[in-house]
Structure 1
Amino acid sequence: MSWFRKLIKGSLIALPSYVAFTDIFYAVRTVDGQSMQPTLNPDGNNTDFVLLDRWAAASHKFERGEIVSLV
């Protein structure tokens, strides 16, 4: 049962860290559907992955030509 306690303890440490990191700094998300064609998902059959820079979004550092994701 010792391995189970270590697993639970590791999860209690890792999960909040992961949630905070993806909420504040960076997150990987999928893009599917036709909304971003032809830039992302050009053929409509595949799913593209994008890296969201939440740190820049919080400080409003946008430049022309960048994609902004709204939730």
Structure 2
Amino acid sequence: AIDIIVVQQEDGTLRCTPFHVRFGKLGVLQSLQNKVYITINDIPVEDLYMQLGEAGEAVFVEEDTVC
């Protein structure tokens, strides 16, 4: 794990230091079905997760909302 620093900007948006997540290929068989859940200071963040790609990399998923 690495430390990530997040700073709230004057306009209320959040900016953070860069980070990446990657798992070994052997540990992510059927990786497209695996979600990586986010916690901040041991508190789960709801409605935010990453999904594992074929090479074991984790990327943020943006849900499309239809009105």
Q: Which has the larger radius of gyration?
A: 1
TM-score range relative to shorter protein:
under 0.3
Normalized against structure 2, the TM-score is what? 0.23
Normalized against structure 1, the TM-score is what? 0.22
